[in-house]
A and B are shown apart, each in its own frame.
Chain A
Amino acid sequence: MAEPVVSLRALSRRFHGPESPPVLDRIELDIAAGEFVALLGRSGSGKTTLLRTLAGLDLVTEGKAILPSRSAVVFQEPRLLPWKPVWQNVALGLRGSAARTRERALNALGEVELTHRAEAWPLTLSGGEAQRAGLARALVREPELLLLDEPFASLDALTRLRMQSLVSELWAAHRPAVLLVTHDVEEALLLASRVLVLANGRFIDDVAVPLPRPRRRSAPGFDALRLRLLAALGVDEDGHDAAAKAA
């Protein structure tokens, strides 16, 4: 098999000195080129911490990490610069002639169906449009690794569905390796080829999702995987805390 895009070996992360309990505890992770990985975990389990490490935002102090040279992030909140029109946000930091970067930005905006808002100010975008702009800004860099930190969490259910299929199409077209952080088990199963569950700083589950695409909730095997992941998260089907109920 080809070299993995991401390779973490015994990676740990602590926030309060070397003696403090680790948020990430000797993590081992390989992500292959073009692989779509979803990362599930409870709030505070360290998902964002892991994503930041993969983005190269936090220095690695314990363990080893091999990271791709080109990665791009879409955050939970759009983080567009309000004083630049949408297309300039997409073109931010691109090298090359002004005409060329503008063309690339407009192309990327076309891919997320946002061409008509290219000249708009970011603060006038709807939540879904802003996230699409964020997606375009990530795509335009042709990343080897695309990091998505709950990018749909603040969207309404309908917009969210459309965003999910958009991400799925873009992934199929460009084939970057993707790490999608999410709270939503169904979202993970609709998009990812592999689902990781993070708890207490370690992966407690690593599930391949062999379902055919395009994915349907009604597909055979979907529900079994869903229940398995919910159990791994320690939540029963009605959303009750399984551990609390057992006690």
Chain B
Amino acid sequence: MSGQAIAVPVAPPRVSRPRSTWKLSGARRLLVPILLVALWQGAADAGFVSTRLLAPPNAIAVAAWELIVSGELPYHLLVSLQRVAIGLAIALSAGVSLGLIAGLSKLGEDAVDATLQMLRALPFLALVPLFILWLGIGEATKIALVALGATFPIYLTLFGGIRGVDPKLIEAGRIFGLDRWGLIRHVVLPGALPQALVGLRYALGTAWLSLVVGEQINATAGIGFLVMDAREFLRIDIILVGLLVYALLGLGADQLVRMLERRALAWRPSLIQEG
């Protein structure tokens, strides 16, 4: 296939980027990671790296395969995913409600914002001991950690996004007959969305982080448990499989938000040109 095949389309207004360019740039981005893995394998085969301390890629692949076939990996993955999902659902409801309350009214801001800013100053992982005392070492603590960590970015960006909406646009909406609810629906919320989606991306990041920490607390299932368990038996390969899964989950979540952004923010002319 020649480069000609990727003809520049006569910009249809709703499509942000032509598909073929996407695949191409995806392949290009994968090049360096693949090269690194190949180097790693080569170094292990040549005996430069102790396979006892760092399992080579092929051993990791074998371990991953065995874990999948035995059903262990899917099971633990499901447990971890469930924790993140519940935690994020709580964070989204809390973050969005608080963001709306603080963003849409001065009274709400006075009531909510100062408190949340103070709480935010506290590194939330420092709350682990308290959570364990309050909630025990079961699921509740792990979910609470995920929820707490993810709430702040959602709240902050939504609040900031709402307050950052161009007052001229609000005024225009008002002149053209929108009532308060109409303004919120047609002007304020869509205007805050780009920021809020950035917040969602951050929230997913902190959610994984909290999950990793949470799953080190006396877990009996989940990817974190898999890793801690493997440590007991010095199974470096399984530990690495666990890390790989964490990384893939993080990447997947990021892609999900990007996809959401492409759909919801189609109105933004893309500033980044392919090149």
Contact = CB atoms under 8 A, between A and B. Distances in A.
Interface stretch (B98-106, B173-181, B217-225, B230-238): B173-181
Contacts of B22: none
A92 B267 contact: no
B26 interface: no
B182 interface: yes
A92 B168 contact: no
Contacts of B110: none
A124 B175 contact: no
B176 A137 contact: yes
Interface in A29-82: 55, 57, 72-73, 75, 77, 79, 81-82
A219 B176 CA distance: 39
Chain B interface, DSSP helix/strand/loop, else mixed: helix
A77 B173 contact: no
Interface string B39-78: 0000000000000000000000000000000000000000
Contact of B178 (A75, A93, A122): A93
Chain A interface, DSSP helix/strand/loop, else mixed: loop
A81 B175 contact: no
Contacts of B267: 82-84, 121-123
B269 A83 contact: no
B13 A124 contact: yes
B269 A55 contact: no
A169 B106 CA distance: 46
Interface in A95-126: 95, 119-124
A160 interface: no
B260 to A, nearest CB: 15
Nearest to A120: B13
Contacts of A82: 267-268
Interface stretch (B88-96, B184-192, B247-255): B184-192
B171 A123 contact: no
B172 interface: yes
Nearest to A138: B176
Residue among A77, A93, A121 having the largest count of chain B Cβ atoms under 10 Å: A93
Contacts of B182: 93
Contacts of B14: 119
Contacts of A202: none
B114 interface: no
A83 B169 CA distance: 11
A141 B13 contact: no
Given A81-B186, A83-B190, A83-B267, A92 B13 contact: no
Given A81-B172, A93-B176, 8 more contacts: A72-B176, A75-B168, A79-B168, A84-B267, A92-B176, A92-B177, A95-B177, A121-B269
